[in-house]
Chains A and B, each alone.
Chain A
Amino acid sequence: MDELLNTAPCGFLSFADDGVIWMVNATLLDSLGYDQNELLGRHVESILPVASRIFYQTHFFPLLKLHGKAEEIYLSLRAKDGAEVPVLVNAVRRTREGTVVNDCVMMQMRQRNQYEDEILQAKKLAEEATRAKDEFLAVVSHELRTPLTAILGWARMIKTGELDERTAARALDTIERNAESQNQLIEDLLDFSRIISGKIRLDVGQVELDSLAEAAIDVVRPAADAKGIRLQAVLDPRAGPVSGDPERLQQVLWNLLSNAIKFTPRGGRVQVRLARVNSSVEITVSDTGQGINAEFLPYVFERFRQADNTTTRQHSGLGLGLAITKHIVELHGGTIRAVSPGEGQGASFIVRLPVMIIHHVEQLSNDAEEQQAIARKSQTAELARLDGVRVLIVDDERDTRELLAAILTQSGAMVTAVSTAADALEMLRLKKQDLLVSDIEMPNEDGYSLIRRVRVLEEGQERRIPAIALTAHARASDRLRALSAGYQFHMPKPVEPAELVMAISNLTNRAQSSSPETAPDKSLNRSAG
């Protein structure tokens, strides 16, 4: 039996309750470099490094004593030469020859130890990633909702039919601007993960905060009106430009204004002030709202702070928006602080941004003017004319179909719009078309299949009908797939009217040819007919 114990391929050690070692096998002695007489009678703690000693006293021994056994305990032993020997211990408490002893089997786990370290590390990284993902989703949903406030608010007001023409036009502008802004956000979704990792990218240019503030006030005005809150702006146009990302700075103003309105009761007042303070531009958003408790004030900008439930509920709207706001302000080299005389006495949020250095202003303002000129041109320039061009639109979504038809009709095109690939093929047979605009994702038969069938029908023909694919996907692989299926052009949704008209104009040779009627073509319906 002794022989078996000594040659077993695992360590064995037995100690009494007072820690004195009674028995140890040759395998364990070998791995620790001790002789038997060096260990027998010694305290078990003498072969434990400090951390193991504490763990032995606080966990291992109580477990053995209270439950009679301990399984899969990781410990480190100290070899005679000082090296640490990691072991996995299974132990059982029993009475032998009238004495209570603790028998331990010890498996060396040098390699396993390393694997476990790696697993632990991987686990930590995975937890970190999950947390980052959750935070990211929270940020995204918050950001997507902000422009929706203005879109829905104004849309509902237009629906009442009580807006005068000027206000209604302004409402439409606001809706358009916010829809564009939301579209931008969707495109920037992945980019937004940078907020979490602290790598948000700024498109820096010269920003006039007074016009930005006016725009932000427009966004929140419906919400303020709905609550009967008076919005006041005291904007000094000479406050000076700052260098920054206009989208992000607008976001800052939205967030501060939305918060102010949210926490101000009916009939209250929200004021935006813009002023030059030394070499900074200071924006102050003050309200007559519920104010902020002095104890909570230092934590107002903390993200996901764990306050008690009451505080969390009360300030749920403050957490994320203000955290993002602070982050953006700081990225601009600015500061933000909150001031409140106390609960029920309103609050002010004060943003300070460094004013743009003047000799840069000249240069940049030229650039900015140029950019604005281009922007104006692209917005107001008349869309290219498509007079007489016959366009067939295929899209299963009615709203999109109607929108596309409206855009193209406005440009003079003769539009036929259908909702399925089958209808499209039928229409191509019946009537000559100059161009096909097709959605890709459609029930029953998708846009890939449609264009393949069109191209098969065209075999042997000299002319192939130009076709544009519309998809919600903008990846290179989507574009490639659309082109290889037979489309000439791939356009991601949402469609920019000017871009669509320009593409159709190019594909139907409008640039060169003034009369579509004279364009040589053998249309599909002829070949089919």
Chain B
Amino acid sequence: MTGKVLVRNNVKVFGKGTQPMLFAHGFGCDQNMWRFVTPAFEEDYRIVLFDYVGSGKSDLAAYNPERYGNLNGYAQDVLDICNVLELKDVIYVGHSVSSVTGMLASIREPERFEHLILVGPSPCYINDPPGYVGGFERADIEGLLDMMEKNYIGWSNFLAPVVMKNEERPELTRELEASFCSTDPKIARRFAEATFFSDNRSDVPKVKTPSLIMQCSEDAIAPLDVGDYLQLHLPQSTLRIMKATGHCPHMSHPEETIQLIKEYLTGARTS
């Protein structure tokens, strides 16, 4: 079981500390996205990186459309990893959709998690008037799905099966590395649907783990309204609005991201 999960989710563990910091990537990407911030925590923490099944270098054979048809399946990946590595007092850092998977995982096994650090979180991306602004209409997401389809058809449909196990042709592997982090268009589509069509607002108040909400000042995917909503409904949460714009501050503004996480963790310690 241990080895299976570690291979299945392409789990990487490093760092000199003992307390685990588990980084969960967002939709459309893989663990690579954390490489600008993890060096800042290596000295003090045990860093755990992974790819969700269906993303990055995870085992595509382990993909089950039913399990990954909603975010609980992804939360189960997180808990499986915590379980096999026997992680406790985890500082969970989740980007975008992984904020929700982190919340879901912490509701199910609260004893494992010490802090949740939520980068660009949103419990529901679709507007629900009159009270809730998620930022999108369903038609917007349908447009995204079409766009994904067009972008994925180019290479992944035809090349991915060849690329996956082609060690004697490293140029193909490089090609893969320079492509989208979800390799299979059907999986990517299902992940997109699970991400953008989920409504996890009712789960938010159930979270018992203290959390930091990192909200970018101009984020097309998680607008400021969503940050306000979360701060209001997420127990023991701290909201920090970043100078960074966009949706991926850990890639576009790693210094500010690192600084805010450190400040939060230091503050939490001293208090």
Residues of A within 8 A of B (CB): 17-19, 43, 45, 49-55, 57-59, 61-63, 65-67, 69, 71-76, 116, 119-120, 123, 306
Contact = CB atoms under 8 A, between A and B. Distances in A.
A486 to B, nearest CB: 53
A54 B146 contact: no
Given A18-B252, A55-B144, A63 B180 contact: yes
B220 A17 contact: no
Contact of A55 (B66, B147, B251, B252): B147
A120 B245 contact: no
Contacts of B65: 306
Contacts of B196: 54
B247 A59 contact: no
Contacts of B146: 51
Contact of B247 (A57, A74, A75): A57
Given A18-B253, A59-B28, A62-B28, A54 B181 contact: no
B160 to A, nearest CB: 15
Contacts of B144: 50-51, 54-55
A51 B179 contact: no
B251 A62 contact: yes
Given A54-B220, A75-B147, A18 B153 contact: no
B92 to A, nearest CB: 20
B121 interface: no
Interface string B69-106: 00000000000000000000000000010000000000
Task: Report the 3 A-B pairs with minimum CB-CB distance, sorted nearest first.
Answer: A51-B143, A58-B28, A57-B247
Interface in B217-271: 218, 220-221, 244-248, 251-253
A59 to B, nearest CB: 5
A123 B186 CA distance: 14
B245 A19 contact: yes
B154 interface: yes
B149 interface: yes
Contacts of B179: 63
B81 to A, nearest CB: 22
A381 to B, nearest CB: 61
A45 B135 CA distance: 14
Contacts of A62: 28-29, 33, 181, 248, 251
A18 B242 CA distance: 12
Given A54-B220, A57-B221, A61-B252, A120 B150 contact: yes
B209 to A, nearest CB: 26
A120 B252 CA distance: 34
B26 interface: yes
B244 A18 contact: yes
Contacts of A73: 151
B33 to A, nearest CB: 6
A71 B179 CA distance: 9
A18 B245 CA distance: 6
Contacts of A123: 153
16 contacts: A17-B253, A50-B220, A55-B144, A58-B26, A59-B148, A59-B180, A61-B246, A62-B251, A63-B178, A63-B180, A65-B252, A66-B251, A69-B178, A71-B178, A119-B153, A120-B149
Interface in B34-53: 35
A57 B248 CA distance: 7
B144 to A, nearest CB: 4
Contact of A51 (B66, B140, B247): B140
B2 interface: no
Contacts of B96: 58
Contacts, number: 101
B29 A58 contact: yes
A49 B221 CA distance: 12
Residue of A61, A62, A65, A123 with most partner-chain B CB within 10 A: A62
Nearest to B140: A50
B136 interface: yes
A119 B253 CA distance: 40
Contacts of B151: 55, 59, 73-74
Interface of B: 26-29, 32-33, 35, 65-66, 96, 136, 140-141, 143-144, 146-151, 153-155, 177-181, 196, 218, 220-221, 244-248, 251-253
Nearest to B218: A43
Contact of B143 (A19, A49, A65, A67): A49
Contacts of B141: 51, 54
A45 B221 CA distance: 11
Contacts of A75: 147
A74 B154 CA distance: 10
Given A18-B244, A49-B143, A55 B253 contact: no
A109 to B, nearest CB: 10
Given A51-B147, A65-B252, A18 B221 contact: no
A296 to B, nearest CB: 15
Given A58-B26, A63-B178, A63-B179, A74 B147 contact: yes
Contacts of A67: 177-178
Given A58-B28, A65-B251, A76-B147, 18 more contacts: A17-B253, A18-B252, A19-B245, A43-B245, A51-B146, A52-B147, A54-B144, A55-B151, A57-B247, A57-B248, A59-B28, A61-B246, A61-B251, A62-B251, A63-B179, A65-B252, A66-B251, A306-B66
A74 B150 contact: yes
A62 B220 CA distance: 15
A123 B149 CA distance: 12
B149 A58 contact: no
Contacts of A45: 218, 220, 246
Contacts of B153: 116, 119-120, 123
A55 B150 CA distance: 11
Residue of A45, A51, A61 with most partner-chain B CB within 10 A: A51
A75 B218 CA distance: 21
B91 to A, nearest CB: 23
A17 B252 contact: yes
A19 B150 contact: no
B211 to A, nearest CB: 22
Contact of A72 (B27, B148, B154): B154
Contacts of A54: 136, 140-141, 144, 196, 220-221
Nearest to A72: B154
Contacts of A76: 147
Contacts of A53: 220-221
A14 B115 CA distance: 39
A74 B152 CA distance: 10
A69 B177 CA distance: 11
A53 B141 CA distance: 11
Given A61-B251, A67-B177, A116 B218 contact: no
A140 B149 CA distance: 34
A57 B246 contact: yes
A244 B151 CA distance: 51
A224 to B, nearest CB: 37
A355 B69 CA distance: 44
Given A52-B147, A55-B144, A57-B221, A19 B180 contact: no
